[in-house]
Structure 1
Amino acid sequence: MLLEYTVRNYTVFKNTARLSFVASNYDKETYERENVQKIPEKKLRVVKSAVVYGANAAGKTKLFDSLAFMRQFVLESSKKGQQGDVIDTKPFLLSESTRQEPSEFEIIFLHKDARYRYGFEVTSEKVIAEWLFYKPESREYQIFYRDTLDKTLETHQKLFRKGILLESENMVRDNALMLSVAAQFNDEICSTVIQWFTHNLSVLSSIREYGYKGYTMAMNDKVAFHKKIMQLLNQADLSIQDIHSKVLDLDAMGEDIPVEVKEQLVQKVKGEGVKVYTECETVHYLYDRNNKVIGQTKFSMDEDESHGTQKFFYLAGPILDTLEEGKTLFIDEFDARLHPNLVLSLFSLFNTPSINTKGAQLVITAQNSIFLQSNMLRKDQIWFVEKDRFEAAHLYSLADFKSNHARKGDNYEAKYLKGKYGAIPYLTMQNYFADTACEKERRWPQER
């Protein structure tokens, strides 16, 4: 489970932004059984879901982008690139004090009964610092601390024996992470961290579903998963009787496909034995003139179904997989193109103990304020992103407000829309139209 994520000096986040999933102690009576996963052996209570609000361009998406960057850099820094290649980090550019400073990322999570704390500082040229801490029981061990400016490396002699080898043989590039390199050399602790990033953490954009479309089509091709997806589609009242994933037919490929693309597809299908999914077909009832069912007909998911139906289906794969495996899933713009009732139903899966039995977590950004009036979230599950007048974004929770500003039983939605918690746009459109009308009054007499 994810316990905490921290980012500093990345895109709009000039100062430290900390997103915590550790449940607050003063909110124990609110949805404790439904929304909180208790881990007695670690003396922890962790929320299963969270929603992030904010005005357009406030930084909600950038928060998720920063985590996606961290994940990608962890997984690829040792495999891709050469010495001297640019690292795709993006510091806060609107302040002289941060333009040349490193971006910082840190994540804390539980995995296989142990607590891990991993982070790094990085510029576009090199990794400035990197650290990994491991806490299997009550004591936390520093596995390594790497400082490239001072050319120093502190390692745990017993738990990270490969560190000395990597340093002595100069096997870690300045623009690569030691964690990633050590995992390639089968270091047990570093490999476990890499596995968590690979299999237990996903960051999706729900308005660019092509990133996980293929995954859902592949999962739908499995009998057990297909049954669960159909149950979800039926509960969503989409009138779909069945759905099939279509596999690429090499013999049916058109002549307009470039030769190099054909060769890659042939290699995947024949050489690697990989199934390439092209599209999904949905099955609907066919009716006679008296509205009696006389058969079935097939639709193309992408050409005939609504954008909302497409999004719901393609999200179903990652959501069901996250619930089944106890993973952590971030989805940006979760409520886009979906009915509010459907959004709430999907989100509530993670706060239903009988369904979420493995401590899965869902974190979303949303524009629809329905989560604030739905009586389904605790204060420590509601987060806001707001920019100050210098265009730096700040992240804070509803639980950060004093009790007299956010009481239990308050209408959080009404207060939020009135600006009591910030993180909303302050619109002056009426002033624009009033100014425009005055300008016309001044100009028209002369024109007449």
Structure 2
Amino acid sequence: MLRNIYSFGEQKEFNMIPAPRYTRLKGHKYQINGFEALKLASFYGANGAGKSNLIRSLDFLQDIVVKGDIPSPMKLKRMKHFHSSEEPMVLGVEFINNDIPYIYAVEIGNLSVLKEELYTSGLGKREDTLVYERTTAKEGKTVLRLSEKFQNSVEGRVLKGILENNLIKQNKTCLKILSELDNPLLQDTTNAYQWFEQKLKIITPKVRSGGLAQRLDTDAEFHRYAEQIVCSFSVGIKKLQTVTKSIEEFFGDDNKADMETLLNRLSKSPGMVLSLINSEGEELTVVEESGKVVVKQLKTEHTTKEGDSVMFDLSEESDGSRRLMDYLPALKDLITKDVTYFIDEIERSIHPLLIKEIIGKFSADDNTKGQLIFTTHESNLLDQEILRQDEIWFVEKDLTESSDIYSLCDFKEHNTKDIRKGYLSGRYGSIPFLANLKDLNWNAYDFRK
């Protein structure tokens, strides 16, 4: 659920609840304590319709929850929908972690968090149960409402006063603060925060897979899986290798300042794995192992026509090959873990047949555990053998230039319908409006003058 952020004006909602009348691809439904959820969702729309803004909005929500801070008033003003710049921004998400369903929502004004709440969800079958509700009064004072059991205890009343008067600030979200308190009555805040921090994964076109070299080097099972997948892509890569050097050897005498900066960061957070991008766009991993700080770099192995092995830097691989490797942790996690991945422009730099094969394989695997939600322009994925109709969504600008979200289920198509053909012909909207381009007289412009 989102309102008044980026290109979204009025409140819009998207869900992963299966349509009751749709019975095909039953392996796409997860059963969680009697509740059903879909494992896939796709978003289609013209350039500028708002697909990426949907992902950006969720990325923003995750950021302010995990870090606990909201941006400056100037940045918030730029983020708000241009029709309602003075109205509050509202974001909310319903999710399940460790078999417990939650509803988290936040309302943000120009200077503060106006309202923030966490409930255990009744999933429409029973009433939602309060975990906490926080509001900010006009004078900036925090008012906190917690469960009745918490507030009736002596410790709870004392802790509530400390939270309201000292710990919770108007320009900060408070889920992180509450999750760090050692109180059994606040266990739900810890569980909910863990979902935002560990189980919600967002990949944008510019994001690289963090710590890939480290995971390949330390997780033998993942290394075998990744190598098998990459070789099956037929991009010429035969093996994946991690080259490890001491930090002193890697940086040498000419970059001691950069080295000292990294060493200082690691000393403040022991056990931390640092990822950085070098000038060639390659990811490097810096980590402490056996008392030494090392730098790990991913290399790829190819074979010449004579049968000799030759090592490539990642920067020497094509954009498509690099993008595929960025997806390796996601592909493995989606099969084996209870995680939710949002990927913006999933087909970027990847051949249409290859991305269809990847999504098709995930679609056909009945043993997956994660959820995959992605935006795309790739019409080849509009195949009812890969996606259910309730897994296909569209984003389109309305007459007020606000983004709208709607499902293919709204059109009640038969399961034998050619969805791709219908989409490209404009049956469902969400395609570019080409009238102006068709009327454009190219010959009227002489660019040589």
What's the TM-score, normalizing by structure 2?
0.84
Q: Hey, what does 2:109 align to over in structure 1?
A: 123
Out of 369, 372, 376, the residue aligned to residue 366 of structure 1 is 376
Cα distance between partner residues in 2 of 1:133 and 1:166: 22
Q: 1:419 to 1:197 in 2, by over 3 A?
A: same
Identity percentage over the alignment?
Answer: 24
Q: 1:279 to 1:155 in 2, by over 3 A?
A: same
Alignment of 1:109-188 (within 5 A): 109-135=95-121, 139-149=127-137, 152-158=143-149, 161=156, 164-186=160-182, 187-188=186-187
Match of 2:262 in 1: 265
Q: Name the CA distance, whole Å, in 2 between partners of 1:89 and 1:157.
A: 37
Separation (CA, whole Å) in 1 of partners of 2:327 and 2:242: 15
Q: CA deviation at 1:413?
A: 1.0
Distance 1:420 1:256 in 2: 63
In structure 1, C-alpha distance between the alignment counterparts of 2:253 and 2:404, rounded to whole Å = 49
**1:446 maps to which residue?**
none
Q: How does 1:244-255 map to 2 (within 5 A)?
A: 244-254=241-251
2:291 maps to: none
Pick which of 313-322 and 272-281 moved more.
272-281
State whether residues 319 and 349 of structure 2, in contact with CA within 8 Å, keep that contact through their aligned partners in structure 1.
yes
Tell me the alpha carbon deviations over residues 18-71 of structure 1, each in whole angstroms, 9 at most, x when there is no partner.
1100111011x2111x211123x33x2211011101111111001000000000
Equivalent-residue separation in structure 2 for 1:270 and 1:223 (angstroms): 28
Measured at CA, do residues 166 and 384 of structure 1 come closer, stay the same or move farther in structure 2, by a change above 3 Å? farther
2:337 is the counterpart of 1:325: yes
Confirm whether residue 432 of structure 1 aligns to residue 440 of structure 2.
Answer: yes
Q: Map of 1:189-268 to 2, 5 A cutoff?
A: 189-205=188-204, 207-210=205-208, 212=209, 214-221=210-217, 222-254=219-251, 258-267=255-264
Q: Residue 16 of structure 1 aligns with which residue?
A: 11
Alignment size in residue pairs: 410
Is the 1:349–1:355 Cα contact (8 Å) retained in structure 2?
Answer: no
CA 1:164–1:342: 2 relative to 1, 3 Å: same
- 2:395 pairs, out of 377, 382, 385, with 385
Distance 1:398 1:8 in 2: 22
Give the letter for the 1:112 counterpart. N
CA drift of 1:311 comes to 0.6
CA change 1:399–1:90 in 2 (3 A) is: farther
For 1:252 and 1:426, locate their aligned partners in 2 and report how far apart those are by CA, in whole Å. 56
> 1:333-372 counterparts in 2 under 5 A?
333-356=345-368, 358=369, 360-372=370-382
CA contact (8 A) 2:390 2:407 kept: yes
Aligned residues of 1:53 and 1:423 also touching (Cα < 8 A): yes
Rate the CA distance shift 1:440–1:102 in 2: closer, same or farther, 3 A: closer
Quote the offset at 1:85 in angstroms: 7.4
Whether the 8 Å contact between 1:216 and 1:318 is mirrored in structure 2 is no
Using a 3 Å threshold, how does the CA distance of structure 1 residues 224 and 267 change in structure 2: closer, same or farther?
farther
Larger displacement relative to structure 2 (156-165 or 215-224): 156-165
Deviation digits for residues 122-154 of structure 1 (CA, Å, limit 9, x no counterpart): 124100111111148955311222221366433
**Counterparts in 2 of 1:291-302, with a 5 A limit?**
293=307, 295-302=308-315
Deviates more, 1:324-333 or 1:134-143: 134-143
TM-score, structure 1 normalization: 0.84
Deviations 1:199-220 (A, max 9, x none): 1101111x3143x2x3222211
CA contact (8 A) 1:74 1:194 kept: yes
Change (3 A) 1:170 1:400: farther
Cα separation, 2, equivalents of 1:208 and 1:57: 18
Gaps of 5+ in 2: 274-284, 287-294
Structure 1: distance between partners of 2:89 and 2:424: 33
Change (3 A) 1:351 1:132: same
1:64 lines up with 2:48 in the alignment: no
Q: Is there any run of 5+ residues in structure 1 with no aligned partner, and where?
A: 1-5, 442-448
Q: For 2:81 and 2:13, how far apart are their aligned partners in 1?
A: 20
Q: Cα distance, 1:259 vs. partner?
A: 4.2
Question: 2:241 touches 2:300 (CA, 8 Å); kept in 1?
Answer: yes
Q: 1:15, 1:284 → 2: CA distance? A: 52
Rounded Cα–Cα distance in structure 2 between residues aligned with 1:73 and 1:197: 10
Shift of 1:400: 1.9
2:300 matched to which residue of 1? 282
1:17 match: secondary structure: coil
Q: CA RMSD in A?
A: 2.6
C-alpha deviation, 1:171, in angstroms: 1.9
1:422 aligned onto 2:429: yes
Read off the aligned partner of 2:105 and give its amino acid letter.
G
